[in-house]
Structure 1
Amino acid sequence: MSVIGFDIGNESCVIAAARRGGVEVLLNDELKSETPAVVSFGEKQRFFGSAGAAFAAANPKSTVSQIKRLIGKLYKEVEGELNLLPFATSEGPRGGILIELEYLKTKWTFTPVEILGMLLKHLKQITEKNLQSPVVDCVIGIPSYFTDLQRRMYLDAALIAGLKPLRLMHDGTAIALGYGMYMADLSDSGPTNVMFVDIGHCDTQVTLAAFEPGEMKILSHSFDQNLGGRDFDEVLFHHFAAQFNEKYKIDVYANVRASRRLRTSCKKVKKVLSVYAEAPLIIECLIGDIDVRGSITREEFENLSLKLLERVMIPCSMALKDSGLSVDKLYTIELVGKGSRIPAITRILTMFFEKEPTRTLNPCESVARGCALRCAMLSPTLLVRDYKVFL
């Protein structure tokens, strides 16, 4: 029987399997560990992952993404956010979200749960192709702030996909488990306290855990469910949109295709600024036959992002307060998540905690690996060394 862990991100998904005495991250058909969390509806078939993301450029209105943000939410709760998405939505009979699109030359209406079920089914197929065996049991990572309704909807989506989750596991707990299971340099004088700061695509989660030989205890969770890498992308998007409006007299906001292309380019600019002090942005034929050029320095980007950077510290402070520990009791601060690559985040955390954060875990794979470990611990078919988890 296969032992699987799924990390369903807002932007991409990762699959891990416990086998051969360890945990292995599975690759998709493009030989990549990350599969875009995208479902695209063509005239004759559906496209998933990278194919779906590629199809989105030609037909954004029939491509559904960021489904994790919509699960279990009322339409009025996220109406402002829905207006930024390229696909059409409407309010359901109970106030939920309905996704409207055209598929097989017919107009269809799907719920977020149905879309998530399709995405999980695709991930299940990737897993079975890798392992050459059926997959049913799994552990799925979820944010610590999920409500009971959102958790039930994840279970419903898994049922649609033909999966049986043995457990829904908090992302921070999964990260801590993957870290603690292989931790060798434990203190002899008491618990080793580690703070995990996970800055993902759309949220920030902080978990504080205490490790001792053969066990770990989760001391506290904290979060900001509206602060992630995409918010820093939006800072760049608004900056360049205003710059191009002034320089080229074009309104990017009024063009869905142009907005999508500019947001994609801004993500690349953010990555470049993580390494270099300045980054250029060049897009050919952004609107009509207008080619646009711009640039931004890391200092300018950080100044534009000051309010976001200040917000990063709030869940860190809350997690520390809830745990009852002081800063000097922390062994280290472990940074994970794609959004954590911004140098300014490392700098402000270093100033606050008086020690530089470490990056010993893979920033994109740690949740899936922890979920796979937990699935192995729950499975009767695998022998896993005794390790206790106290929540």
Structure 2
Amino acid sequence: MIGIDFGNQSCFVAVVKDGGVETVDNDYSLRATSSVVAFSARNRILGVAAANQRMSNLTNTISSFKPLLGWRWDDFFVQDELNKLPYKVIPHHSGGVAVEVNYCGKDKSYSVEHVTAMLLTGLKETTEVVLKGEIKNCVIAVSDSGIKLVLKKKYEIIEYRILIGFGHGGMVYDGIGTFLGQNEIPGMVPSYFTDPQRRALQAATKIAGMNVLQILSEPAAVSLAYGYYREDLPDEDEAPRNVVFVDCGHSSLQVWVCAFSEGNLKILTSCSAPSLGGRDFDSLLGLHFCTEFQKKYNIRPESNPRAYLRLLTEVEKVKKSMSSNSSVLPLNIESFLDDMDVSGNICRAESETISQSLLNGVETTLKNCLKDSKLQPKHIDSVEIVGGSTRIPAIKELISKIFKKSVSTTLNQDESVARGCALQCAILSKSRGIKSFKVQDIQYHSIRIVWDESLQEDGWKEVLPLHGPIPYSDSVTFHKQGNTFKFKVKCPLAEIGDYSIDNFSYELGDTTELRLDVGMNADGIFNLNEATAFHNNPK
């Protein structure tokens, strides 16, 4: 049983052992495994080895693919990501996203779900070697992860049949709409992951040969890692300890507030920004040096993918050095373009000026989270930071300014997500020596049933509220004339599916009361559990 942190830049694997949590070393004796999959003339290469050969095999090395997982090709988010990638991305026949590579001398394409599965398979196999045993379960937890429509006869219910559309991202459903990608492991997803992305991660983990016990949001995983071993949490009948968490990773920023009491945690609110991560700071600094080098050397690094990637690699190193050094730092690259050596320099103050637009976004996200929590800074007990990019001094200063607290680094900034997932996996498996700890997560997106978009607010109904508790269930009723009800299920950034309930027995003037039982399971995945039709004849 393991917990997996599937990050955009790196992955971590943790396991509960002898009552504690250990992060597992990979085949390079490192805890961080690069989220990279490469294809060569002879074999497939994963993780650290794939990252090490990237410069010599750029177009066949797939990295930073996590943001593409579960999206449709025509989604605006995908088209924005394409500009950041040095390899070929194409539409998948399912409507999702695929990559095209040359593998063993042949051009081949793989969906992002399958690329993710390849990486997860590598993590699984490496961990099995270290732990000397087979890995079957991990945390991405799953109960009934599929969309199912079941019609039961009640009272005057009439004849029925169900037509279900295909989901997004290459997911496969059977004839009655049951999702065929169910698993059992705790793994983690960012809070901004929508329903289709969570389903895609489920499918990838199943392909990798693991059972997903629960899909755990990053906020829930980090909060569990923080609270599980603490012995000073208040009793349940006392005021909870309110803790703010700020997680700025490679590709995104997440901020949330969690209330802790003995044996219990409850996420109160969360705000996230998918394009406010370390790579976005790297990109702005990279463009700064592109402009400088064009003036100084008459070259355009951004027009050469290999050169630009080298530049971003060096920029990242300088950025990390600036976290502990405010003086002017050099950037030197030998044989950069046309065997030309280039050099430049930058200091922390200049870097902050260049990155001001991103820092403004960070400040807005922090303020929104505080506002949504309905708490005053004086009611917040501590502010914890995780994620590599929270090491940026300007981000730390903003956090302290807004929450009026010094930042705390109680948690391992890189490994806390995997550690929380491992704990949840052990809790769900009822492992010996592991105490129970209740995790109350929230719904990170509102969900609507939409039957006529042209009517705007009169053509849709919210069925699952933003920041409502999960698991969650409810019944919604519609009164329809006719023998067909077609609708879409949507969250703000994605469409979950198209549905049609057909062939009500119908006579002119009759009204059918259609009740849909909907819910959100513990994995943050939407379920349409049951549809029941009642026939009302006014005569």
> What whole-Å deviation, never above 9, does each CA across 1:63-121 have from its counterpart, x for those lacking one?
00112111011223222321331111122345321211100100101100000000000
Residue 66 of structure 2 corresponds to 68
Q: Which whole-Å deviations, capped at 9, do the CAs of 1:3-45 have from their partners, x for residues lacking one?
A: 2100000000000001111000000111110000000001000
Structure 1 residue 390 displacement after superposition: 2.2
Residue 364 (structure 2) aligns with: 314
Q: Which runs of 5+ in 2 are unaligned?
A: 140-186, 442-539
Name the counterpart of 1:341: 391
Structure with the larger helix share: 1
Q: Secondary structure at the match of 1:75?
A: coil
Letter in 1 for 2:201: Y
In structure 2, C-alpha distance between the alignment counterparts of 1:94 and 1:133, rounded to whole Å: 36
Greater alpha carbon shift after TM alignment, 260-269 vs 82-91: 82-91
Q: Which residue, 174, 179, 184 being the options, matches 2:221? A: 174
Q: Are 1:28 and 2:33 counterparts?
A: no
1:145 to 192, 197, 212: 192
State the partner residue of 2:47: 49
Pick the aligned partner of 2:299 from 250, 273, 281: 250
CA contact (8 A) 1:47 1:55 kept: no
RMSD, aligned α-carbons: 1.3
SS of 2:11's equivalent? strand
Q: Which residue of 1 aligns with 2:309?
A: 260
Cα distance in 2 between the residues matched to 1:268 and 1:9: 19
Letter in 2 for 1:321: K
Q: Map residues 1-391 of structure 1 onto 2, 5 A cutoff.
A: 3-76=1-74, 77=76, 78-139=78-139, 140-187=187-234, 190-277=239-326, 278-391=328-441
Q: How high is the sequence identity, in percent, across the aligned residues?
A: 41
C-alpha offsets along residues 290-340 of structure 1, whole Å, 9 cap, x if unaligned? 000110010000111111111112232222222221111100110100110
Does structure 2 conserve the Cα–Cα contact (< 8 Å) formed by 1:332 and 1:355?
yes
Output one character per residue of 1:126-149: Cα deviation in whole Å (capped at 9) or x when no partner.
Answer: 110111000010000001111111
Q: Distance in 2 between matches of 1:110 and 1:197?
A: 34
Contact 1:75 1:97 in 2 (8 A): yes
Contact 1:5–1:15, Cα closer than 8 Å, also in 2:
yes
Is this contact kept in 1: 2:387–2:413, CA < 8 A?
yes
TM-score after normalising by structure 1: 0.97
CA distance in 2, matches of 1:299, 1:137: 47
> What amino acid sits opposite 1:73 in the alignment?
W
CA distance in 2 between counterparts of 1:286 and 1:7 reads 34
Shift of the alpha carbon at 1:187?
Answer: 4.9
Contact 2:335 2:341 in 1 (8 A): yes
Q: Is the 8 A contact 1:215 1:388 kept in 2?
A: yes
Aligned length: 389
Question: What is the distance in 2 between the residues matched to 1:353 and 1:258?
Answer: 41
- The normalised TM-score by structure 2 is 0.71
Gaps of 5+ in 1: none
Q: Return the offset for 1:351.
A: 1.3
Q: Is the 8 A contact 2:285 2:355 kept in 1?
A: no
Larger radius of gyration: 2
| 8 Å CA contact 1:71, 1:113 repeated in 2 | yes
Q: Is the 8 A contact 1:173 1:207 kept in 2?
A: no
- Alpha-carbon separation, structure 2, partners of 1:35 and 1:205: 22
